[in-house]
Amino acid sequence: MFKGLLSLFLKSNCPLCQRPAESTICHDCERKLQASQLRNPLQFWRQDLPLFVWGHYEGQLKRAIAVFKYENHPELGEFFGYNLGENWLKCNLLKKNPQLTVIPVPLHVEKQKERGFNQAEVIAKAFCHITRYPLHNEGLVRIRNTDALFNLNPQERQFQIKQAFRLGQGFPQPPRKQPILLVDDIYTTGTTVRECVNVLNAHQFPVLGIVAIASARRS
């Protein structure tokens, strides 16, 4: 009986609804999140910038990402990273070339200081824990503290993000043939990740694609 009471008191609350949870989130919130999950995470993979995404950026998933990023709940990022990793392995995309390097899309140092963590890095660490891929946290560095892009038109986005990144230190030179997988939280227009790809390609690093928790795209 004492052990039962102790386990009850030691349970953490779900960061999405504040009810007791046996793991990161409660069963009810997890069920709601699953409703946003894509049936086919590869539906955007065959496009010019291959994208592997877990769910639609809407409803409970959209709220969960906001809680993760803005209410200091990095454990939600770990939850998403594990789920991304499991889905990735199930799809078995790399039958011929299982070797790659994972790089999270970086935050500017000032923004990371405000938030306390880089959300893409949290996701990438959990993703790599599941997939066993090597993680290079500082493969890219954000050197411009850009404004939020979601309210800008395409031309303004491109202007904001241009030359916002540079290659991080410690990357092998000359570059290896091993492809790179970029990790981010949300894929919207692709402006940010395309600039990351441009920087990597300019230094002869091949990019396999992008993995993200959510995307607003439908086709």
Ordered by start, the domain boundaries in the chain are: 1-34, 41-215
**What are 60's two structure tokens?**
């409970």
Check whether 128 has a pLDDT greater than 50. yes
What is the number of residues in the chain? 219
**Considering the chain, what percentage of its residues have pLDDT values greater than 90?**
60
| pLDDT tens digits along 87-116 | 999 998 776 556 889 999 999 999 899 999
| pLDDT tens digits along 134-164 | 999 989 999 987 766 556 556 666 666 788 8
Residue 191 binned pLDDT confidence (cut-offs 50, 70, 90): confident
Contact 100, 178 (CB under 8 A): yes
Residue 213 binned pLDDT confidence (cut-offs 50, 70, 90): very high
Mean pLDDT within 36-51: 89
* Residues 6 or more apart in contact with residue 88 via CB below 8 angstroms: 41, 52, 127, 130, 131, 211
Please tell me the class of the 41-215 domain. alpha beta
pLDDT given at position 127 = 97
CA 203 vs CA 133, 168, 196, 197, 215: distances in Å = 21, 11, 11, 10, 28
Mean pLDDT within 2-21: 69
Quote the CA–CA distance of 76 and 119 in Å, as a whole number: 10
Residue 7 binned pLDDT confidence (cut-offs 50, 70, 90): very low
